[in-house]
Structure 1
C-alpha cells in the first residue's frame, strides 16, 4: 500500500524525535543541575570536615563530591549536551554548565584528591612539642604542589568563558565559583612556595635566627606601634627556641644611621629612622623597617638575623582565642583582656618602666611557649593568623631571597609599593609625635572614593576622621601614659603625624583640616609614591576631619587598594575603593 503524504509522516516523526530529544535534554539539564547542586553541598561539607580535622568525614565528603562531579561531567560531555550548546538563547548557559562540570571533575580526579585525603596531616604543620615536624612538611610538598596545579587548571578553564551572557542565577554562581577557585589557587600558590622553603627556614640546613618584635599600638607607628619587646628565636631542625629577649629601647641610639638613608627618608623622618631601633618603623615600608632592625640588632647584640616577624597585642588576642590564656606576673592574659592589659593597664598598675619590661618579656615567653607546645584549636589558630595578616598586624620579612618570594606581594609583606601595575595603591599611616602611650585612645576612620576616570586615570576623594577618646581628666594619668608635658605637649593631649600616600605615578592634592587648608603640611615622595603629611593636635574627646583629592597613575584602572596603620581598635576596615573606570 502506498503511503499518502509521506512528508507529513516524516514531519510527525521528526516532531516526535524533537519532543523526545527535548524531553531528554530537559531531564539531562535537571539531572546535571541536581548533581552540581549536590556537589556544592558536598564541597561545603568537605571544607567543614577539613577545618575540623575529621578524617572519616573528609573521605566521605570527597567521595560524594567526586561522584557528583563525575556524573555531571559525563552528562555535559554527551552529544545531546553538545547540541544544546548551539541552541540560540540557551547555548551560553549550556557551555557554562559544561565548563563548571569539567572543572569540578578535574579537581576531584586530579591533584586535589591526595591533598584532601592527607588533610589530617596538616595538623603537623602547626607547632607542637617545641617545633614543627620537618618530615611531615617534606611529605606534604607533592600533594600541595599537585593541588595548586589542579586549581590553576580549573582557574584557567573558568577564565576562558565570559559569563556575561548567562542567565542571572547561573552568572552569579559562575562568578562566585570562579572567585573561590582563584582565591584557593592563589592560597595554594603561596602554600606551594612556602612548603619548598619551610624546611630551610626551620633550620634543616643550619640554624636560622629571627627577630620576633611586639609592636605597641599605644604609641603608634606607621607599621603598627613602637617596637617594644624584642625576642630572638632560633630554628634548628624544626625546633623553635626563644634564645634572647631585649626591650626595644635597650638597643639604644646609634651615632649615625645603621644603614645609609635616602634623602627622601631623611627629609620625611629624620636620621632617627636609622639611629633608633624603636623608630625604624616611622616608614610604612616593612621590608625597610626589617632591614634597619636587623642592622641595629646585629651591631648591638651580634650574630646574624635571617628574618623579622612582627605582631601586635590585637593579633596576640586573636591567637589566645586558640591557645587559651597565659599568665605573667600573676596576671591572666586572655583573648578578652590582652589589648587593655598590654596597651594601658600595665602602665597604670606597674609604674616602673624596668618592671614593665619584665612583664612584657614574661608575656612574650609565655605566649611563645604556649604556641610551640601545640594543643590549641587548629581551626581557631589558622583563623587568628589569617585575621592578623589581613589586618596587617602580622608582618614577615625574610632576608633570604628564596624565602622572601613566598611573602612578597602577600598581606604579611607590609610593602609600601607592591607590584600591581593596574591597581592604584592608597596609604594612610600614623606616627605618634607625643612620646607617650596616648595612642591607646586614638581612633580613626577612612573613606576613599573613586569619583571619575578619564584616559585611564582615576580621581579620588579621601576623607579621614581622627579622634581622641581620652577621658576629660586624662592629664591625671601616669606620666608614662601622657608624656608628662614633655616636648611642650600638655598632659592628656596627643600629637599625631598623618601620612597620606597616593598611587605610583599619581598625585596627592592639598590636605584640608576641618575645612581649612593645612599650611604646615609637608609634600614629598617615598619609593616612587607621592605623599603629604600633617600633624594633628588632639585634645581629650576632640576630633579632626581631614580631606584631600588624589589621582592615580596612568592606566591604573582597577579597584584601588587601601592600606592603613592598624590601631588598638578591633574593627573591620574597608580596604578597597571601587573603580570609576
Structure 2
C-alpha cells in the first residue's frame, strides 16, 4: 500500500490508476499467502486445536477480504474511467427527512475522462423534476408497499425501498427521462458520508454560514442550523444554495491540490460500512463486483434467510429526523428444536423541542397537527421465508410495517414477531442485522433466551448499529 501511495495520490483531479493497479496486485498477492496457511489439526488437541482452528478461520476470512479488495479495485478502475469516459449522477441525501436512506434533495453530475475527475453540473433535485413515471419495472412487493409514493416519478421517494440495486437503476432511468442524457451509474452520499470526507479534506468555509463546516459539526449545521428561523412558505433557495455550496467546497478541495489517496479510501470505506455511500453501475460486471463487496444492493444480498433490516421513515413533509432517535431491541427465543421466534421492538424517541411555533422544519403540515409531530413509518424486513404478521415479500426479504404517530418530546414503539423456521442449522443459530444509515447510529440490543438449552456464546449484545452485525451461537 505504501508503494502505491508513493506512486501518487489524487492530484488536481487526476485519477492515480497506477496506484490502483499496484494495490490490486498486492492485495491478490497477499491473499494467496493467507490462502496457504490452513493446516491439519489432526495431531493437535485441546487448546492447541482450538487455537489452530481460530487461526485457520482468521486466515480464510482475510483471504476472502483481500481477494474481494483486489476484485473491487479492478472494478473501480473501469468505473473511474480507466476503460473510457464515464458520467455518473451523484445523489446527495438529506438525513433530516428519512427514507430507507436519506431523501434525495440535491445532485451533481460527475465526469471521469482523460484520467481526470470533473463536475459538470449540480443543483437542487427539483431541477430534474419528472412529469410522469419512468418505465423502470417495479417488483410486485415494492409496488404494493411503496407504489403510493411514486418511486419512479418522485426523487424524494426513489429510495423508500431497501433495495438499492433497484433504486440505482431507477435513478439512472429518471435522470435520462428528465434530461434526455444517459449516465453510466449512480453514487449516493448522505451527510455522515460527507462528514467522513471532511475528515480528510478538512473544514470548508461557505459564504452565508457563521463558521467553517467540519466533520464534527456537519450534521448539526446542514440538518438543523440551516432550517432555524425558516417559516412555512419561506424561500428555501438560500438554504439549498448553502447545502449545495458545502458539497461544492468539498468537491473543489478533492479535485484541487494533492489529496491523500489512502485517507480518501478510508473515508469512503467508513461511509460504505454504515450505508452512507452507495454505488450502482450500469456495467453488469462492475455491478456484480459492487454487490459482492457490499457497496451496492440491498440487505438481502447475503444470507437473506437470516437477515433483519429496520427502517424508520418520515411520513410527513417536515425535517424532523434530526431530532428522532430510534432504538431497536430484539428478543430471541426457541420454538421447538430448530425454529426461532424473534420479537423486534422499535422505539421512536422524538426529541423535537416542545411548545415551538409553526416552522418549515417542525411543521405542522398537511400530515400533522402540531409543531414537532412526527409520523413514523416503521418497516421491519425479516428473513426470507420467515412468518411475520401482515407481511409481504419485498427487497428479497419479508416486510411488515406499522405507522406510529409521535408528538414532540414523546416516545412510542412498534412491536413485530418473526418466526424463522429451521433457524438452527447444524447446531448453529445466526442472525444478520443490516442498519439504516441515519445521522446517528441506532442503539441496538439483542438477547437470546437459552430456555434451558446449552448455548455457546454471549447471550446478549448491545451497541451502536453502525454497520452490519452478525451474531452466532452454538446450540445443543
Structure 1 residue 134, shift from structure 2 partner: 1.9
Aligned match for 2:397, one of 529, 542, 560: 529
Structure 1 residue 174, shift from structure 2 partner: 4.2
Q: Which residue of 2 aligns with 1:438?
A: 320
C-alpha separation in 2, matches of 1:123 and 1:468? 49
Confirm whether residue 127 of structure 1 aligns to residue 7 of structure 2.
Answer: no
Map 1:166-315 to 2 at 5 A: 166-167=46-47, 170=48, 174=52, 177-222=55-100, 224-271=101-148, 272-315=150-193
C-alpha separation in 2, matches of 1:498 and 1:218? 16
Aligned match for 2:408, one of 525, 540, 561: 540
Q: Which one has a larger percent helix, Structure 1 or Structure 2?
A: 1
Structure 1 residue 326, shift from structure 2 partner: 1.1
Q: Which residue of 2 aligns with 1:146?
A: 29
Counterparts in 2 of 1:559 and 1:467: CA distance versus 1, 3 Å: same
The residue matched to 2:391 in structure 1 has which SS? Answer: strand
Counterparts in 2 of 1:173 and 1:237: CA distance versus 1, 3 Å: farther
CA-to-partner distance for each residue in 1:265-314, whole Å, 9 max, x for gaps?
22201251121112101101111111111111111123222121111111
The residue matched to 1:260 in structure 2 has which SS? Answer: coil
Structure 1 residue 179, shift from structure 2 partner: 4.8
C-alpha separation in 1, matches of 2:375 and 2:56? 47
- Tell which has more relative contact order, 1 or 2 (C-alpha 8 A, sep 6+): 2
Equivalent pair of 2:93/2:102 in contact (CA under 8 Å): yes
Structure 1 residue 131, shift from structure 2 partner: 2.8
Q: TM-score, normalised by structure 1?
A: 0.70
Counterparts in 2 of 1:528 and 1:229: CA distance versus 1, 3 Å: closer
Equivalent pair of 2:95/2:223 in contact (CA under 8 Å): yes
Structure 1 residue 234, shift from structure 2 partner: 0.7
Q: Which residue of 2 aligns with 1:84?
A: none
Equivalent pair of 1:506/1:552 in contact (CA under 8 Å): yes
Q: Which blocks of at least 5 consecutive residues in structure 1 are unaligned?
A: 1-117, 510-521
C-alpha separation in 1, matches of 2:340 and 2:84? 50
Q: Which one has a larger percent strand, Structure 1 or Structure 2?
A: 2
C-alpha separation in 1, matches of 2:8 and 2:64? 19
Counterparts in 2 of 1:580 and 1:494: CA distance versus 1, 3 Å: farther
C-alpha separation in 2, matches of 1:387 and 1:579? 28
Q: Which residue of 1 aligns with 2:353?
A: 471
The residue matched to 2:10 in structure 1 has which SS? Answer: coil
CA-to-partner distance for each residue in 1:249-274, whole Å, 9 max, x for gaps?
33224323442323322220125112
C-alpha separation in 2, matches of 1:496 and 1:529? 21
C-alpha separation in 2, matches of 1:227 and 1:281? 8
Larger radius of gyration, structure 1 or 2? 1
Confirm whether residue 578 of structure 1 aligns to residue 472 of structure 2.
Answer: yes
Aligned match for 2:218, one of 338, 346, 351: 338
Counterparts in 2 of 1:372 and 1:185: CA distance versus 1, 3 Å: farther
Q: Which moved more, 1:549-558 or 1:281-290?
A: 549-558
The residue matched to 2:33 in structure 1 has which SS? Answer: helix
Structure 1 residue 341, shift from structure 2 partner: 0.8
Q: Which residue of 1 aligns with 2:458?
A: none
The residue matched to 1:282 in structure 2 has which SS? Answer: coil
Q: Which moved more, 1:249-258 or 1:440-449?
A: 249-258
Structure 1 residue 431, shift from structure 2 partner: 1.6
Aligned match for 2:289, one of 401, 406, 418: 406
Confirm whether residue 563 of structure 1 aligns to residue 437 of structure 2.
Answer: no
The residue matched to 2:300 in structure 1 has which SS? Answer: coil
Confirm whether residue 508 of structure 1 aligns to residue 379 of structure 2.
Answer: no
The residue matched to 1:182 in structure 2 has which SS? Answer: helix
Equivalent pair of 2:378/2:414 in contact (CA under 8 Å): no
Q: Which residue of 1 aligns with 2:420?
A: 552
After superposition, the CA RMSD in angstroms is 2.7
Aligned match for 1:462, one of 344, 349, 354: 344
Q: Which residue of 1 aligns with 2:249?
A: 366
Counterparts in 2 of 1:527 and 1:386: CA distance versus 1, 3 Å: closer
Structure 1 residue 411, shift from structure 2 partner: 3.4
Confirm whether residue 355 of structure 1 aligns to residue 226 of structure 2.
Answer: no
C-alpha separation in 2, matches of 1:546 and 1:266? 23
Equivalent pair of 1:446/1:464 in contact (CA under 8 Å): yes
Structure 1 residue 455, shift from structure 2 partner: 5.4
Counterparts in 2 of 1:404 and 1:285: CA distance versus 1, 3 Å: same
Counterparts in 2 of 1:360 and 1:579: CA distance versus 1, 3 Å: same
Counterparts in 2 of 1:260 and 1:140: CA distance versus 1, 3 Å: closer
C-alpha separation in 2, matches of 1:401 and 1:162? 44
C-alpha separation in 1, matches of 2:338 and 2:375? 38
Confirm whether residue 420 of structure 1 aligns to residue 314 of structure 2.
Answer: no
Structure 1 residue 186, shift from structure 2 partner: 2.5
Q: TM-score, normalised by structure 2?
A: 0.85
Q: Which moved more, 1:558-567 or 1:175-184?
A: 175-184
Q: Which residue of 1 aligns with 2:277?
A: 394
CA-to-partner distance for each residue in 1:71-95, whole Å, 9 max, x for gaps?
xxxxxxxxxxxxxxxxxxxxxxxxx
